[in-house]
A and B are shown apart, each in its own frame.
Chain A
Amino acid sequence: MNRNIFNLTRLAPWLGLIGGLVLCCLLALFFHESPWHVFKILTTSFYNSKFDLGLTLFYTTCLIFAGLSFAVPMKAGLFHIGSEGQILFSALIGAYLGTAIVPFDNPFSFIIATAIIILSTLAAGAASALLIAAFKIFKQAHEVVVAIMLNFIFAAITTWLTVNRLQSPTSQNPETALINESFQFLKNDYLKTYFENSPVSVFLFAALGCCMILHFVERKTFIGYKIRAYGANPHAAARLGFTQNEILMISLGMAGVFSAGVGLTEVFGNTFQYKIGFSPQYGFLGIAVSLLAQQNFLGIIGSAFLMACLHKGASDLDLETEHLTRDFSRVLQAIIIFSVAASYYLAQHFAGRKRKS
């Protein structure tokens, strides 16, 4: 364990976050807005109302899953940026199965059907992530390149399927039909009611549970050490008999499952259908979430909430300011992700140089 909490490598992403925030606020000057005003909106709009807080918690749920999807492969030394494509793919599968499967009118049939849908969605996520592993194992392709191309391919496939095959007949927007009514059981769950019908749902607890389970698995079972060992030194891991294939399958498979968690949260906890463009790039925001938390599974909860607040604030800039638009919020998020990731890499780079000398 790294005992020195306040060393540069650990602090770097936070310095990056602060730097990115400052940069964003200064950028507002170009649009004749007060940086202070922008900063206030970014940091405070998440608790304007119960609904707002609920919305922020919904974002938190998605970002926890997306953050986990990045963090697990990172432990094995894999830079996994394919979460976005996996989210879209699994969400569409979930939405399709939700419309295609109609349970009989008894609780047993309903439970079986729900289980089938959830497990298939998770499996779809895992399968889409294992594609990356397959390319790496059979073609020695680099995971970053494969993942980024698959992101585009999955986006294209899901869009095509939605528009040409699964388009809701009752809507003019590009989206699928609503899932079967019996599967919309989270519509009136306790959390939703408490937060004035905002998108938040019990998936929040599932996300928190995943973080805790992973934290436990990492420290108390062998698999966590195995993955970390592979990440630290693949050659030495192979000598101990941990094969690359095994580690790739486990870490990327899990990453895919967590990506599918985002899809489930959206389709079964929020809109009950697949809408093209529903994800404001959760997959990429997840990278920043994970890096801020230094891949600490419990830390991801905090950093996901922080990024959710910023995300909420950024989307409100449109309403709360005169000149800034929705597109500007995307610019802001890109700057924040960029500066967090860049600072992480710079710190790693300098730490590596220091170690070598």
Chain B
Amino acid sequence: MTEGRLSLYLRENGYRLAGRVYLFLGFIFLLLPITFLILFSFQRNVYSSLPLQGWSLQWYDKLVEDGVLFDALLNSLYVSPIAATAASVIGFLAAYALNRFVFPGRILTATILILPILIPPLILGVSLLGLLSRLGLHGQLYSIIIAHTLLLTAPAMAIIQLRLAQMPPTLEEAAWDLGANELQTVWRVVLPWALPGIAGGWLLAFTFSFDEFIIAWFVSGFDQTLPVTVYNVMIASHDPSLNAIGTIVFGLLLLTLLGAELLIIPLFMRRRRA
């Protein structure tokens, strides 16, 4: 009786079931490495291999004692938001100018702004090192901010431009017609319209910068961002506290996402319902 039911169920829902299994396996493939990273950050094992040797916070202790990776994380949390903000501001202004005005050299300007993202990071890194050191701006945290701003303006601008391209041209005209000058119109009409694009561009730029290794490696000095420090720690020795810093970063990102979901989205929903 039960067997008959099962085969009936499979005949009716077989494809759906297969799809679910496939999806499940896909998620496992994506999430398993992170799960292991978190698991072994709380284990006594020196090497990430079974069997488990018992729960411990010793790698977190080591993280705080050494301080190198921790400082690097703080550096990253300093560099990336500033670079992302600078890139978003420049990206917005450039996107607006390219969208609104027809001027000689318009295509050239757009190309130059997009170019950094097309140049291989290795070449960009080397040339930035040469340039910044000649200007006396190398080897500092702000060197990375400058380099990242240059790199990230292109993707931020691209996303903001997508949003601005959807803006009906009569929207600005309506603001002028009602008595707003150019500046007021940009501030009170174009900016609110572009805001979802700016937020998206900022997030993309932030993640880009937070992850970026090659250019940061070239232009940084003793103060390094997290990816560069992780690399340096890895080539120097085997250190399980890398698992611990990985877990902390993952936790931070998860909290940010959850926070966004719990705080910001209901805010939008409520405004819409009101």
A joins B in a complex: no
- Interface of A toward B, CB cutoff 8 Å: none
- Interface of B toward A, CB cutoff 8 Å: none
